[in-house]
Amino acid sequence: MKNIYGCTLEDLEKYFIQIGSRKFHALQLFSWLYEKRIEDYSMITNIKKEVLDSLSKEYSIARLQIVDVQEDTDVCKYLFELEDKEHIEAVLMRHDYGNSICISSQVGCNMGCKFCESGRRKKVRNLETYEMVLQLLMIEKLLGERISHVVVMGIGEPFDNYDNLIRFFEIINHPKGLAIGARHITVSTCGLVPKILEFSTFPLQINLAISLHAPNNEVRDRIMPINKAYPLEVLIPAIKTYLERTNRRVTFEYILLKDINDSDECALELSHLVKDINCYINLIPYNETNNLDFMRTNTVQIMRFYDILKKNNINVTIRKEFGGKISAACGQLRSKKEEL
C-alpha cells in the first residue's frame, strides 16, 4: 500500500477524478494533512465517508518510528526506523533565523566519500518521498515549533534519488503543504553532473550546494570517487551552466581535513578555481568519527584558510559547529545502532 505523504497535490487530484469524486478534495485533503496535521482519516469532516473509505484502502497514513533522540546545544539528532527496519537520521539545528532540519534521502550511500560515515556503509535503497516528508513532519510535531528551513544533506546522495527528491520539494513547498519557501530549501550534491544540469530547469528556486572539498583533481580523486566520473573540468562548466539558466548563487561546501586539503596552497588554489563563479564557500570543521582516520583541522589553520579566501575576494563563511557530543556527523547514529 502506498503512503499518503508521498502524494503531490496533482497525484491526489488525479486519484479523486479517477474514482469519480471531486478534484477539489485533493486541496481539502492537503489542508487536513499539512495545516491541521490529522493522523487519521476519520478526523476529516468535509469529505464523504465512502470517499475516505476508498482512500484508506489505497493510501496508508502510517508514520515512521523515532527510536533514538540525542541532544546538544542548539542541535537535536533523531534516528528513525523505517517499515523495513532500516534506519535513517535527521538533524534539527536552531539558528537565529529559525529552526533548520537536515534530512536523509537514502538508506546508506554509494558515493563512497572517504571522510563520510554514510559512505562507509553502502546504499541499501532510496528513500520514498513519504519517508522524506515524514522526517520533517514528525520532528516538527515533537518540537512543537515550525521548521522554517530544510537542507537535504543527511545520509545519501540526493541527486541519486532525483524523482523522489523533486516530489518532496513540491509537497513541502506547496502553500497548502508545508509552505516552506523555495529559497529556504537547499539540496547538496557531491557532483552528479547530469542531474545538476537537469535541476537547472526545475522551476522552483531551490538552493544548490556542491560538496567540493578539494581545490584540484588530485586531492578530490583521493577523497571523493565521484571525481573520477565527473572531474573538475566537467563539474565546473556544469555549475556555470546552472548559473546561466537560474541566475542563482551556488554554495561550495568545503570540509577541512587536517593535512589533506587545508594548506595555504589549497586555499589559494580554491580561490582561483571559483573566482569567476557567483558563489560562496562554506568552510566546515570536520566532525571526527571513530570509524575513519581523518582529523579536524585546528582552529588556527581554519582561520588562516578563511583569511586567504577573504583576501582573494571570495565570499566565505565558517559553518557553526553543531553536535560534537552527539555523533552528529552523517551516518554515525545509524552505524552505532546497526553495528552493535
Walking along the chain (340 residues) 10 residues at a time, the average pLDDT comes out as 97 97 96 96 96 97 96 94 97 94 97 86 94 98 96 97 98 96 98 98 98 98 98 98 97 98 98 97 93 92 98 96 59 55
Given 7, 13, 89, 157, the catalytic residue: 89
Q: What pLDDT, on the 0 to 100 scale, is given for residue 290?
A: 82
Active site residue 330: yes
Helix (H) or strand (E) holding 97: none
**Long-range pairs of 168-175 with CB within 8 A, sequence gap ≥ 24:** 168/129, 168/132, 168/133, 169/202, 169/204, 169/206, 170/8, 170/9, 170/204, 171/5, 171/7, 171/8, 171/9, 171/129, 171/133, 172/133, 172/136, 173/204, 174/8, 174/9, 174/30
Q: What separation in angstroms does the CA of 214 have from each of 267, 293, 309, 340?
A: 9, 18, 14, 34
CB-CB contact of 112 with 221 (8 Å): no
**What is the SS3 assignment for 233?**
helix
How would you classify residue 323: left for phi > 0, otherwise alpha for psi between -120 and 50, otherwise beta? left
* Chain position carrying cell 509552505: 179
User: Residue 179 corresponds to which cell in the numbers above?
Assistant: 509552505
Strands 279-285 and 250-256: parallel
Closest by CA to 297, choosing from 267, 254, 332, 259, is 259
Q: What separation in angstroms does the CA of 216 have from each of 26, 160, 219, 227, 228?
A: 50, 24, 6, 10, 12
Q: What pLDDT, on the 0 to 100 scale, is given for residue 151?
A: 98
Domains recognised in the chain with CATH numbers: 2-60 (1.10.150.530), 65-338 (3.20.20.70)
Q: What pLDDT, on the 0 to 100 scale, is given for residue 117?
A: 85
Closest by CA to 85, choosing from 103, 102, 110, 67, is 67
Active site residue 58: no
Q: What pLDDT, on the 0 to 100 scale, is given for residue 333?
A: 60
Q: The whole model's pTM is what?
A: 0.93
Q: What pLDDT, on the 0 to 100 scale, is given for residue 188?
A: 98
* Chain position carrying cell 518510528: 65
CB-CB contact of 270 with 309 (8 Å): yes
* Chain position carrying cell 465517508: 49
Q: What pLDDT, on the 0 to 100 scale, is given for residue 122?
A: 86
CB-CB contact of 281 with 254 (8 Å): yes
Given 113, 116, 266, 330, the catalytic residue: 330
* Chain position carrying cell 535541476: 199
Q: What pLDDT, on the 0 to 100 scale, is given for residue 81?
A: 98
Closest by CA to 157, choosing from 129, 192, 184, is 192
